[in-house]
Homo-oligomer: A and B are copies of this chain.
Amino acid sequence: MSNEQLEQLRSELDDVNLKLLSLINERAGLVQKIGTVKRESGVNRFDPVRERKMLDHIADHNEGPFETSTLQHLFKQIFKAGLELQEEDNSKALLV
């Protein structure tokens, strides 16, 4: 191994981490907007059918190297964090 090779790969990994960070937060912003739209119309926020469809969509487009089961586990965590953000927004809206 050359140390330069490892450093180069780590630098690429740092870039990907920041892109992931940006996308995860972009996703959270969209989830908040969806929460607002739903709240305004009194619709229930959690929609398991929609969540299932998103997981299937991800499975259909998975080209690896991660197994689909691993990806679905990761996305479920991301979905859960998004729902919690919507719930916080909802609590704040109720306090206004």
Q: Within the complex, which residue of B19, B31, B37, B81 is in contact with A74, where a contact is CB–CB below 8 Å?
A: B81
Q: Closest residue of chain B to A18, judged by CB?
A: B61
Secondary structure class of chain A's binding surface, majority of residues: helix
Instruction: Tell me if A17 and B27 are in contact (CB < 8 A).
Output: yes
A23-B20, A65-B25 known; A37+B1 contact, CB < 8 A: yes
Q: Within the complex, which residue of B28, B34, B58 is in contact with A66, where a contact is CB–CB below 8 Å?
A: B28
Q: Within the complex, which residue of B6, B21, B24 is in contact with A34, where a contact is CB–CB below 8 Å?
A: B6
- A59–chain B nearest beta-carbon distance, Å: 10
Q: Does A50 contact B (CB under 8 A)?
A: yes
For residue A20, which residues in chain B have a CB less than 8 angstroms away from its CB? 20, 23-24, 27, 75, 78
